[in-house]
Structure 1
Amino acid sequence: MAGELIRLGVPKGSLQDATLKLFAKAGWNIRLHHRNYFPDIDDPEIKCSLSRAQEMAMYVERGTFDVGLTGKDWVMEYDSDVVVVDDLIYSKVSNRPARWVLCVAGNSPYKRPEDLEGKKVATELCGFTEKYFKSIGVNVDVSFSWGTTEAKVVEGLCDAIVEITETGTTIKANGLRIIAELMQTNTQLIANKEAWADPAKRKKIEEMNLLLQGALRAEKLVGLKMNMPKAQMEAAQDVMPAQTSPTVAELKDPSWVSVEIVVEESTVRDIIPKLKELGAEAIIEYPLNKVI
């Protein structure tokens, strides 16, 4: 189909660079413009717009965007009525879910969420935090934080905070202590319900998800290619943890074969020396963009 088919919301802020990198590996190059919220993309069927991750689900639910990327936390925060197409486990720091945690000052007497009865809690995730404390029967005063949330505990403006973290480094650096994990979150590909019901738009969104997932899957994988003595193939297969059976091709010399495998990048340092001991030659390691 020629012309614009779907409107894509790209998260602005901390996830922006990681999102652009992921789309590039998936096959779409998105180019930003200075002080412009409408990036270019090399696909005439897609129109891009930037949006804060906190507002993305709202715009997708309203139909401003047909599809967008945002955190599971923000979908839950506003009970957004959208289709969750799939999880996309990536972030600005690591390929693992971030955590929303309940924190207090390091010297605070509070050790459990229940100890905060009647106390003040600051967070950007107000709706979810209120629902969490209600679910455990604890009454707290939840207030919205506009940023620098960690400092509010240190300055005595609140008794606890609910903040997002991946490594916990910033929380520890501010002298805070985690007393509970409230939720794990990750990026999700979400779609407007009407767009999802449109066959052409749904097909495009599903194809996008397929390639994004393939790019994510490839991030920790590499390809290995080598020539191997045919007599050593059985022994070689015992040290090759391939995603599937290795690809083996005959060479002009009938005593040798060409072998190609896909493996975890972290295992290469152990595999290559073992293959070399078995007589492998011309071993080539190469990066992968997508694994479908």
Structure 2
Amino acid sequence: MKPVIALTKGRLEKQFMEFLQERGYDVRPLLNKGRKLQVETDDFFAVFAKGIDVATYVEHGIADIGIVGEDILLECQPDVFDLLPLPFGKCRFAIAGDPTAVNPMRKQRIATKYPNITTKYFRERGKSVDILKLEGSVELAPLLGLADDIVDIVETGSTLKENGLVVKEEMFTLSARCIANRNSLKLKKAILSPLLDSFRIEEAVI
């Protein structure tokens, strides 16, 4: 029996491949998977999904562990065990907007893909704002007057700059996380421990 790992497709997927290679794993089956969504390696089975779906597969025990962005855990709060941070996927949450905009007389409007994170952040600071949930490019909202500012994940800041926006307030930093199904940690400890121990090599320096 091999562990089942759910991987977030895209940027985290590529960074996790490099992470595995550094630890001596043969990732050739993963790199050469083409359009396959399930791949078997010598050490584990891998499934590829969007971030929120990774958390769902882990929560329901389809996957034993998952590699997911910390934003998914904070926003959606899936019922999984948050095992440890990983040394990649680094980014930050920030409030951004038009630096020339005048402070509104009305309640501040914030556009974001992350209403739960945003609500919690402002509530903890005693601020009342109106939150507009968007699914696409939130940078458009202040440009068209839908919102005063946005709350979003920022990596390089290039998208903000290209659209004339600036970071107004740094909120907090994020990283990729290794999550686990609660039952798998108990029932499959023998097969999961070697894999998880190899992931923990960098834990002390994060």
- Structure 1 length-normalised TM: 0.62
2:82 partner SS: strand
Quickly say closer, same or farther: Cα 1:123–1:55, change in 2 above 3 A. Answer: farther
Counterpart of 2:150 in structure 1: which amino acid? I
How far apart, CA to CA, are the structure 2 residues paired with 1:71 and 1:159? Answer: 27
Find the residue that maps to 1:162 and give its secondary structure: strand
The residue number in structure 1 matching 2:39 is 39
Aligned-pair CA distance for 1:58: 2.7
User: How far, CA to CA, are the matches of 1:28 and 1:152 in structure 2?
Assistant: 44
Aligned counterparts of 2:19 and 2:198: Cα–Cα separation in 1: 10
**Structure 1 unaligned runs (5+)?**
92-96, 218-292
Is the CA contact 1:32–1:38 (under 8 Å) kept in the aligned structure 2?
A: no
2:19 alignment partner in structure 1: 22
Q: Does 1:206 align with 2:193?
A: yes
Change (3 A) 1:203 1:185: farther
Match runs of 1:121-200 below 5 Å: 121-198=110-187
Amino acid corresponding to residue 87 of structure 1 in structure 2: P
Give TM-score scaled by structure 2 length.
Answer: 0.85
Q: What pairs up with 1:1-12 in 2 under 5 angstroms?
A: 4-12=1-9
Contact 1:116 1:140 in 2 (8 A): no
In 1: Cα distance, 2:53 partner to 2:107 partner:
30
Residues 168 and 54 from structure 1, CA distance in 2 versus in 1: closer, same or farther, beyond 3 angstroms?
Answer: same
Q: 1:40 touches 1:48 (CA, 8 Å); kept in 2? A: yes
1:97-153, Cα deviation, whole Å (9 max, x unpaired):
31010111121234xxxx796232221222111222222233323222222221222
State, as a whole percentage, how many aligned pairs show the same letter.
25
2:100 equivalent to 1:103: no
Structure 2 counterpart of 1:196, one-letter code: L
The Cα shift of 1:80 comes to 2.4
In structure 2, distance between residues paired with 1:142 and 1:106:
20
The structure-2 alpha-carbon separation of the partners of 1:208 and 1:71, relative to structure 1 and needing over 3 Å to count, comes to: same
CA distance in structure 2 between the aligned counterparts of 1:68 and 1:192, rounded to whole angstroms:
9
Q: Distance in 2 between matches of 1:37 and 1:23?
A: 18
The offset of 1:162, in angstroms, is 0.8
Higher strand share: 1
Aligned length: 200
Query: What letter matches 2:17 in structure 1?
Result: L
Aligned equivalents of 1:15 and 1:8: distance in 2?
Answer: 13
Q: Which structure has the larger Rg over C-alpha atoms?
A: 1
CA contact (8 A) 1:62 1:192 kept: yes
Separation (CA, whole Å) in 2 of partners of 1:165 and 1:204: 37
Which residue of structure 2 lines up, in the alignment, with residue 272 of structure 1? none
Matching residue's letter, 1:177: V
Offset at residue 9 of structure 1 (A): 0.4
**Hey, what does 1:52 align to over in structure 2?**
50
